[in-house]
Structure 1
Amino acid sequence: MGKTIKIIVAFIVLVAIGGGAYFYFVPKDDKAEEHKSHSAEEIAEMSIDTDVITTNLASAGNFGIVQFNILLSDKETKEEAEKRTAEVRAAVISTVASFTKDELVGESGIKMIEEELIGRLAEVFEKGTVERVLVTEFKMQ
């Protein structure tokens, strides 16, 4: 009887370790689930578009022309963003200007700038959060 209990306990321990490893190593895409839950009307109500912004890049002699769509957590945060357009614009300019032309080439460059801008904009708003940033216009020279 003792040997059977040891086998059952060992099996339970292995299943627990395997389950824990699964939840630890399998990437969770919580942000994608959040975005899917918004309807098109809600996204329009909770997002803002920046102006088209032209700024120098960190690499000498290069500049970028960009525009972003910023999805915010709620309508109250959108109202705050509309009042803080100068701060949003400054965050965009400083973020874009921190990259070189080579860093921004390709899809990975676009993703990098979107992620960096989410972090910068989080510092701007007192209420709510930035859920997503999309590059809607992007040109480099």
Structure 2
Amino acid sequence: MGKLKKIIGVVIIAIVIGGGAAFYFLQKDVKAEEETSLSAEEVAELSIDTDIITTNLASSGNFGIVQFNILLSDKDTKEEAEKRTAEVRAAIIATVASFTKEELIGESGITMIEEELVTRLTEVFEKGTVERVLVTEFKLQ
């Protein structure tokens, strides 16, 4: 009988510890999710819009007209971006010009250029990072 009580005690302790651990990790995920989602005001406060940019594409005789919204990691990075508009514009032109018209057609082309710009623009800034880039205007000729 004493052995049975010990086994039941160990099982109950294991269940309590497992339940506590599950609760802890689930709460941690919920808090992390809440922290990463920004309100509309925060997004507006941390993002910049580029001018409309026209540039040649890698494919001969083609050009693109683009505009982007760039979400930055913090206010300091936004201030830096506003001071480095020439560098941001140059990075965008170089990136867009490296693609052919065929590569940019469709949703996959837009996604590809957004991802490439996140990487390239993060290199431009000394402070912070680029969280995401959205294409807000896109025409190919």
Is TM more than 0.5 here?
yes
Distance in 2 separating the partners of 1:138 and 1:34: 32
1:55 and 2:55 correspond: yes
Structure whose alpha-carbon radius of gyration is higher: 2
Aligned pairs for 1:32-111 (under 5 A) are: 37-111=37-111
Post-superposition offset of 1:34: 8.1
Partner of 1:8: none
| TM-score, normalisation: structure 2 | 0.75
Post-superposition offset of 1:60: 0.0
Post-superposition offset of 1:127: 0.2
Distance in 2 separating the partners of 1:109 and 1:124: 23
Post-superposition offset of 1:104: 0.2
Distance in 2 separating the partners of 1:100 and 1:34: 39
Query: Matched residue of 1:79: which SS?
Result: helix
Distance in 2 separating the partners of 1:83 and 1:67: 18
CA RMSD in angstroms comes to 1.4
Partner of 2:17: none
Residues 99-135 of structure 1: CA deviation (Å, up to 9, x unaligned): 0000000000000000000111011000000000000
Distance in 2 separating the partners of 1:101 and 1:136: 18
Post-superposition offset of 1:35: 9.1
* Count of residue pairs the alignment pairs up: 109
Distance in 2 separating the partners of 1:76 and 1:68: 20
Unaligned residue ranges in structure 1 (runs of 5+): 1-32
Q: Percent identity?
A: 84
After TM superposition, where is structure 1 displaced by more than 2 Å over at least 4 residues in a row?
A: 33-36
Distance in 2 separating the partners of 1:64 and 1:134: 16
Q: Which has more helix, going by share of residues?
A: 2
Unaligned residue ranges in structure 2 (runs of 5+): 1-32
